[in-house]
Amino acid sequence: MLYGKSGLSTLLSFKPYKGTLSNLEDGLTYKQVNIKNNESQFLESRKFQKSEIAAIFRIPPHLINDLEHATFTNIEQQSLEFATYTLTPWVKRIENALNNALFYDSNYYAKFNMAAMVRGDINTRYDAYRKGIESGFLTRNEVRELEHLNPIDGLDEPIIPLNMTTTGDAQNGKE
């Protein structure tokens, strides 16, 4: 007698029994599992409901585990759009309410840091930092601070490439 999974697969792979079921013991009966057309339509409508719910609350489908049309690149873009078009309006409302309730007639204010939500991938972020440093509106220590790194002495001065100057400096002979 053959027992276990391997025994059953050996029995079912034997030529006369290939593609058939073995005997079921103890009065067990086989019942084929089918999904009726109307039930499969129900499953499709459930998928549609998930995407409708996401649309109502302005949430990207991948955040409610609807990955039917998802790719890596569009998930990243949907996350950025979620931060920009869904969260930012709510964050501004909350900031305004906090500022009106807590800091009315004060030099203090409440502001949420949304930079982490829209950071993007590391290559895009580092490219933006490089452009900011080379253009002179970011110092290298400011970039280190944005990346939560400790400052380094001597990196607080803005740098400007040697081939860039203003027209006034060029006329005065300054380099």
- CA–CA separation, 123 and 11 (whole Å): 57
Please tell me the predicted confidence (pLDDT) of residue 68. Answer: 78
Pairwise CA distance, residues 44 & 39, whole Å: 9
Q: Which residue has the tokens 């990346």?
A: 147
3-state secondary structure the chain: CCCHHHHHHHHHHCHHHCCCCCCCCCCCCCCCCCCCHHHHHHHHHHHHHHHHHHHHCCCCHHHHCCCCCCCHHHHHHHHHHHHHHHHHHHHHHHHHHHHHHHCCCCCCCCCCCCCCCCCCCHHHHHHHHHHHHHHCCCCHHHHHHHCCCCCCCCCCCCCCCCCCCCHHHHHCCCC
The answer to whether 152 and 141 have CB atoms below 8 angstroms apart is yes
Region for residue 173 given its phi and psi (left: phi exceeds 0; alpha: psi -120 to 50; beta: otherwise): left
Contacts for 79 with CB less than 8 Å, ≥ 6 apart: 60, 62, 117
Mean pLDDT, residues 75-79 taken together: 81
- What residues does each domain of the chain span? 1-70
Higher pLDDT, 114 or 120: 114
For residues 24 and 7, give the distance between their C-alpha atoms in angstroms, rounded to a whole number.
Answer: 14
Percent of the residues in the chain that have a pLDDT greater than 90, as a whole number: 22
Average pLDDT score over residue span 78-100: 90
Token pair, residue 128, equals 């933006």
Q: From 133, 24, 44, select the one nearest 141 (Cα to Cα).
A: 133
**The pTM is what?**
0.51
Segment 3-46, tens digit of pLDDT: 555 555 565 565 555 556 666 677 777 777 776 766 667 667 77
Q: What is the pLDDT, as a whole number, of residue 173?
A: 59
